[in-house]
Amino acid sequence: MTRKVLVIGLGLIGGSIALALQKAPNTKIIGYDMDETTREHAKTLNIVHDIVTNPQDVAAEVDIIIFGTPVNATLEWMEQLKTWPLKNKVIVTDTGSTKKMIMQKAGELRELGITFIGGHPMAGSHKSGVLAAKAHLFENAYYMLTPLAGEEIINMAQLESLLKFTHAKVVSVSAREHDHMTAVVSHFPHVIAASLVHQLGGENGEYPMTRSLAAGGFRDVTRIASSNPILWRDITLQNRDELVAQLEGWQSEMNRVKELLLNGSSADIENYFAIAKELRDELPISAGAMFTSFDLYVDVPDYPGVISEVTGLLADEKISITNLRIVESREDVFGILVISLQSESDRERAAACIQQRAKFETYIS
């Protein structure tokens, strides 16, 4: 029997889930997005098997519904869902970055007999839209589920048996735990990144070169400020309390830094950075860390040892690789080696090193 999955919202995350689920046997992926161009892309790029212009038309025949929409839009769809004809055993899930308000709404759905299990793949990027979708986006990342208390095991098992095709590590947490943890490692850093960019924007023009100097560190720290503002508006609106708590912690941390700047000894200051370095260096890189791949595509000739030659060059330059794969092994002379790196600046260094030392062409998709 064919399992039918409806994905509503086919941007970076919805599109990537749809692509990953293409590997699931006997599964038909139907997609909807409010944006017509996105719908067209999703169909022509085979991200979905079928596209609809009104999700309600197919709601009664699908087994799983996945929301890949910004979190406020998800709340609105969940409200509409209450009036849709649905299969008895339908499982509804989402991919949103916040969970408390969504799971509150899920409680209302439960009263109507609709199963909703919250979901959040902890992988992504500052890029958005269907054209940025990738089948392997969630590989090795945590995928948090936030079931309501007392959720039936069989429903969890059904959802997990589908999500295994994302190759993510599925874990269950409460919505409250979820919103606290993501505020610390994702939502608040986002506010800080945006505020650093605002601070640069507020420079009064006395030093016109400043923006041109915003390279390396500044770009790394503020990369996420280039994300879709609608997404982050909604996340902020739904996780205000945790964000305010984080901000208060940050303000007292900044007071500590101010005191260090005014009166700290050289040893105190070094110690501040040393402790941060130690903690930062111990963070896990792929398993469970926020995972954004900075992929570099390398056209490599097909001879034995070519991959170790490339990785050896990067090791020489002390550039860490987080993932390595071959996307397309062409029959003729070249293959495409995809190297994932930890940051934009690592990717730039890797590209320069490979072009100069191995003379292979590199691309960024």
Ligand X SMILES: NC(=O)C1=CN([C@@H]2O[C@H](COP(=O)(O)OP(=O)(O)OC[C@H]3O[C@@H](n4cnc5c(N)ncnc54)[C@H](O)[C@@H]3O)[C@@H](O)[C@H]2O)C=CC1
Question: Interface with ligand ENO by CB under 6 A: which residues?
Answer: 97, 122, 124-126, 186, 224, 290, 292
Which amino acid appears at position 63 of this protein?
A: D
Q: Which of 5, 6, 7, 12 binds ligand X (CB under 6 A)?
A: 12
Partner interacting with residue 95 (select from ligand ENO, ligand X, none; CB below 5-8 Å by kind): ligand X
95 phi/psi in degrees, rounded to 5:
-130, 10
Q: Which of 4, 5, 7, 9 binds ligand X (CB under 6 A)?
A: 9
Partner interacting with residue 33 (select from ligand ENO, ligand X, none; CB below 5-8 Å by kind): ligand X
Options 10-18, 254-262, 278-286, 338-346: segment touching ligand X (CB under 6 A): 10-18
Q: Which is nearer to ligand ENO, 193 or 354 (CB)?
A: 193
Q: Which of 118, 119, 124, 147 binds ligand X (CB under 6 A)?
A: 124
Is 11 one of the binding residues for ligand X (CB under 6 A)? yes
Q: Which is nearer to ligand ENO, 16 or 97 (CB)?
A: 97
Min dist. Cβ of residue 189 to ligand ENO (A): 8
31 phi/psi in degrees, rounded to 5:
-125, 155
Is 33 one of the binding residues for ligand X (CB under 6 A)? yes
Partner interacting with residue 290 (select from ligand ENO, ligand X, none; CB below 5-8 Å by kind): ligand ENO
Is 119 one of the binding residues for ligand X (CB under 6 A)? no
From CA 101, how far away is CA 265, in angstroms rounded? Answer: 46
From CA 162, how far away is CA 156, in angstroms rounded? Answer: 10
From CA 179, how far away is CA 288, in angstroms rounded? Answer: 16
Q: Which is nearer to ligand X, 77 or 360 (CB)?
A: 77
Q: Which is nearer to ligand ENO, 165 or 291 (CB)?
A: 291
From CA 237, how far away is CA 72, in angstroms rounded? Answer: 9
Partner interacting with residue 14 (select from ligand ENO, ligand X, none; CB below 5-8 Å by kind): ligand X
Q: Which is nearer to ligand ENO, 52 or 132 (CB)?
A: 132
From CA 299, how far away is CA 347, in angstroms rounded? Answer: 15
Is 145 one of the binding residues for ligand X (CB under 6 A)? no
Is 162 one of the binding residues for ligand X (CB under 6 A)? no
From CA 42, how far away is CA 133, in angstroms rounded? Answer: 10
Options 121-129, 151-159, 198-206, 210-218: segment touching ligand X (CB under 6 A): 121-129
Q: Which of 129, 189, 264, 288 binds ligand X (CB under 6 A)?
A: 129
Chain positions contacting ligand X, by CB under 6 A? 8-14, 33-35, 38, 68-71, 73, 95-97, 120-121, 124-125, 128-130, 228, 231, 235
